[in-house]
Structure 1
Amino acid sequence: MSRFALEFKQVSKDYGAGPVLENFNLTIEKERLVTLIGPSGCGKTTLLKMINRLIEPDQGQILWEGNEISKLDPVELRRSIGYVIQQIGLFPHMTIEENISIVPRLKGESKQKLVSRTEELLELIGLDPAKFRKRYPHELSGGQQQRIGVARALAANPSVILMDEPFSALDPISRVQLQKELIHLNRHVKKTIVFVTHDIDEALKIADDLILLKNGQIVQAGSPEELLKHPADAFVREFLGSERFAPEVSPQPHSAPSLIHLMEASGSIDSHRYVSEALQQLHASQASELLVTDANNKVVGIVGRDELGQRPGLSESGRLKVAEVMRPPGPSVQDHSPIAKLLDLLQEYPIVPVVDDNERLLGTITRQSCIKAFEQLNERKETAV
């Protein structure tokens, strides 16, 4: 079996006004969240729709887990690949349960399995099955409807999910929340997700791998960090935003490190997540505490093993949310704060959030990360001597 989820081999497509894709090659590894970005007309949506044969290539091969998709029945192929679009496309006359289970129902799944799968998916996307399964789409907010669209795409347990501008019509708060939920979700369900977006911030935030296209060709592919640290050319810098490429100031051998060099990735969880999920995340990360964030990625609390372990895990809805057990967070520092302020805080607090000028979480500094940074500083001093 191929280690790649998807492969494009010498694929070309021309709608009559010149090639959109020409001898295009791309491989996408399994269980990665891949974002396609680029200017309008660069071929993003064409690539996406070729995967489930909504558009057929003029030349070349497209392989799905080693199988050439042109030899597969297009209806069965589409039932085996999840698809989430901006317009969502929920059936207004069907309940939420019926909308989510439509593909497995067409595949002949038993009613018992359909009910069980629907409840499982509603819990996974943070909606109470008892409250939502019998509702109709018009009774839900835009963000809730889009969550149902994601659940429907997951219902048949596909290995690949295609997402075409799925969050672009949502308000900013819902959009940020769903971006965070998508990242969280894929850590659990481990699907290959191909995500088309025009939003550069969104692409950089959610992607494991980023593919920047121009005129039907790949300009640069890699992790968001790779593109930001090593842009291939001026187009990459301009498209991602020149302000993102402010030159990094490396600490001199005899200078103190800045807060940016002390910072590590934040261990955080959304406030509406369940206690059981927080415990799982603590276990997976081997951390002792998690910061709790709201829909705007602002720190609203903190939870540790003590709070989570002492709770019965139940509430009126049957499961306890993180917001119900969190304690107030300690003080934070900004990325440009003096290091003396940080050192004072670390004497009292084991974890200090680092926030931007809008109080949004950038990362954390712990006593351990601080000690490690100063050890590296000493090593540089010794090398310089």
Structure 2
Amino acid sequence: MSCLIRVVDLYVRYRWRQEPILKGVNAEFNNKHLLLGPNGSGKTTLFRAIAGLTPILKGKVLIDGRDVNEIYGTKGLLALNLSEVLSLLRMSAYDNLRLFMDLTDGDMDLAIEILNDLGIETQILRKRKPWELSAGQRKAYSTALALASKARNVLLDEPFEQLDPARKSRLIKYLTRYDGTIVLNTHETWILAALKEWTTYLMFEGAIYGPVHASKLMNANIISGEVGNAVHPRVILYCL
């Protein structure tokens, strides 16, 4: 069920900044991938560009060989957990969820199961609007929407934010059994041990490095400068 996402020589710059946020990014995603890097490194901007939510200065994003601008909005192709997916309709979180599942041919039962496992009871969904949920609940809510949509490609932006260890473990269960491509960005390095079979890209200051197997990074050290056995010549992570 996997689908190929190709990012080719991608540059993105916001109007209020002189320097590009993304600088010549090249990557391919067609299975289960981690995008690991510190906050502010450009991970979320890359997701927004892949989803067609941010204008591209140079380069292109291809999904199944087609430019993302040509297939924007295609049902079942791409889902993500950014705040843009939260409906502004004045309906309860439950009704918004049901509408989203109807529009995407998603699995309402799975969405409720994920949300319950992440600590959001159904009665809370019925009583509150999406924007009335706490920050952690909104992140869990949008993550459940993305996974339950059954899209061929899912982009998850920091999905473990504000989850306790037990709920992180439950979310990992859904990630590992998902039948499609997942690209998950995070700054949390513990995820390398939990998802050690996933392919990983590293992101620093708008540039991307890799891919490298997550299990290889589990034994990585950080030094200043460059070494011959580095994951990438310009990255200061090297593997023992």
Q: How many residues align?
A: 223
Q: Is the 8 A contact 1:87 1:166 kept in 2?
A: no
Aligned to 1:236: 237
Aligned to 2:27: 26
TM-score (norm 1): 0.48
Aligned to 1:268: none
Aligned to 2:147: 154
Q: Kindly name which structure, 1 or 2, has the bigger radius of gyration based on alpha carbons.
A: 1
Spell out the pairing of 1:171-250 with structure 2 (5 A cutoff).
174-202=163-191, 204-206=193-195, 208-229=198-219, 232=230, 235-236=236-237
SS of 1:135 mapped into structure 2: helix
Q: CA RMSD in A?
A: 3.7
Distance 1:218 1:192 in 2: 19
Aligned to 1:306: none
Q: 1:70 to 1:36 in 2, by over 3 A?
A: same
Greater RCO, CA 8 A, separation 6+: 2
TM-score (norm 2): 0.72
Answer yes or no: is 1:135 the counterpart of 2:126. yes
Q: Is the 8 A contact 1:164 1:197 kept in 2?
A: yes
Q: Is the 8 A contact 1:37 1:203 kept in 2?
A: no
Q: Is the 8 A contact 1:92 1:136 kept in 2?
A: no
Answer yes or no: is 1:166 the counterpart of 2:159. yes
Aligned to 1:46: 45
> 1:142, CA displacement in angstroms?
6.6
Q: 1:69 to 1:28 in 2, by over 3 A?
A: same
Spell out the pairing of 1:1-385 with structure 2 (5 A cutoff).
4-15=3-14, 16-30=17-31, 32=32, 34-72=33-71, 74=72, 76-77=73-74, 80-85=77-82, 89=86, 93-106=90-103, 117-126=107-116, 131-132=122-123, 135-137=126-128, 146-168=139-161, 170=162, 174-202=163-191, 204-206=193-195, 208-229=198-219, 232=230, 235-236=236-237
> 1:49, CA displacement in angstroms?
0.6
Q: Is the 8 A contact 2:193 2:218 kept in 1?
A: no
Residue type matched to 1:47 in 2? L
> 1:59, CA displacement in angstroms?
1.8
The 10-residue stretch of structure 1 (119-128 or 183-192) with the greater mean CA deviation from structure 2: 119-128
Distance 2:166 2:50 in 1: 28
Q: Is the 8 A contact 1:93 1:136 kept in 2?
A: no
Q: Gaps spanning 5+ residues in structure 1: where? A: 238-244, 248-385
Distance 2:120 2:193 in 1: 32
Q: Is the 8 A contact 1:179 1:206 kept in 2?
A: no
Structure richer in helix, relative to its length: 1
Q: Is the 8 A contact 2:112 2:122 kept in 1?
A: no
Q: 1:85 to 1:176 in 2, by over 3 A?
A: farther
Q: Is the 8 A contact 2:192 2:218 kept in 1?
A: no
> 1:29, CA displacement in angstroms?
1.8
Distance 1:160 1:143 in 2: 23
Distance 2:84 2:147 in 1: 17
SS of 2:169 mapped into structure 1: helix
Percent identity between matched residues is: 22
